[in-house]
Amino acid sequence: MRILITGATSNIAYELGKKLAKRNHVVYFTTHTTKELKNLEKKLKEDKINALCFKMDITTEDIKLVDKLTIDCLINHAGIGIGGSLLYMDIEALRETYEVNIFSSFQLLKKVYQNMEKSNISGKIFVTSSLAGYLPFPFLGCYTSSKAAISILCKTINKELQYLKSNIKISAIELSAYHTGFNQVMIDNKSKYIEKGNKIEKNIESINRLQRNLFCLIEKENIDKLTDQLVKQIESKNPKLIIRTPWYLKILIKLYFLIYY
């Protein structure tokens, strides 16, 4: 297969791309910035991975690059996370999160889908969501609500594809929490987007401590098993509509909320 992975600079997407490339798929790794691209090229060379990579900021005209490629599989992984209270957050933070995680992501999805359709490709589209989209995480609602939207959009598109009798499949990858540093960035960056002199600012340290404790409890260290599971779904003729890992994490988080909130 010819596979395009967005947000493939590091961690889950990078490790997944490596495994797919080693299994003789043609893999296109994409990055958000030119600086990230240089780092990615260096990593691929060090890991002896034969793959193509280029800069593709999905919020810009960069997405037109996909018109020059033949793609059998899109793995839409690019996304950002901003922490903070929805009641006191700068609206631009919410707008930026939705722009990257939802609007631009699905604009790319639409373009790839239409190219597959025109070329009569029995393609596959995978969009990274999160189990957090099912849970009301206090002070992380900007991120979690965007993930909730991703999951419902994928489910809706799946119904449309069935109605259209399309040979293209779509799946939502609902990830659990993995220790990649992403969650810690959301915890630490919330103070940048909170208006000054409000109740949240005064309690920011206790809020951060509560969130760090939660992620210490639920984060998984090893992403190897996850990427193996994703490779199987990507190579499957009929991948699951919802790829959820692991199933029990949702219960664990709910118990945590009952105890501490």
Which string of DSSP letters, residue by residue, matches 203-233? THHHHHHHHHHHHHHH-BS--HHHHHHHHHH
Q: Which residues contact 205 (CB under 8 A, 6 or more apart)?
A: none
Residue 176 near residue 246 (C-beta atoms within 8 A): yes
Bridge partners, residue 169, by sequence: 124
Q: Give per-residue pLDDT as tens, 23-42.
A: 999 999 999 999 999 999 99
Give the integer Cα–Cα distance in Å for 215 and 96: 24
Average pLDDT of the chain?
Answer: 87
Give the integer Cα–Cα distance in Å for 229 and 247: 13
How distant, in Å, are the alpha carbons of 8, 71, 166 from that of 123?
20, 8, 10
Number of domains within the chain: 1
Q: Which residues contact 61 (CB under 8 A, 6 or more apart)?
A: none
* The residue type at 80: I
- Looking at residue 58, its pLDDT comes to 96
**% of the chain residues with pLDDT over 70:** 79
Is the C-alpha dihedral spanning 130, 236, 74, 184 positive or negative? positive
More reliable by pLDDT, 97 or 182 = 97
Helix/strand/coil for 252: helix
- Looking at residue 127, its pLDDT comes to 97
> For 194, which DSSP code?
B
Q: Which residues contact 259 (CB under 8 A, 6 or more apart)?
A: none
Residue 151 near residue 129 (C-beta atoms within 8 A): yes
- Looking at residue 191, its pLDDT comes to 61
* The residue type at 227: T
Helices (H), the chain: 11-22, 34-46, 91-98, 105-118, 141-163, 182-189, 199-202, 204-218, 224-235, 249-260
pTM of the predicted model as reported, rounded to 2 decimal places: 0.87
Range of the structural domain that residue 168 is part of: 2-260
More reliable by pLDDT, 177 or 159 = 159
Give the integer Cα–Cα distance in Å for 114 and 46: 36
Q: What is the CATH number of the domain that holds 64?
A: 3.40.50.720
Q: Give per-residue pLDDT as tens, 58-114.
A: 999 999 999 999 999 999 999 998 888 888 888 888 999 999 999 999 999 999 999
Residue 30 near residue 51 (C-beta atoms within 8 A): no
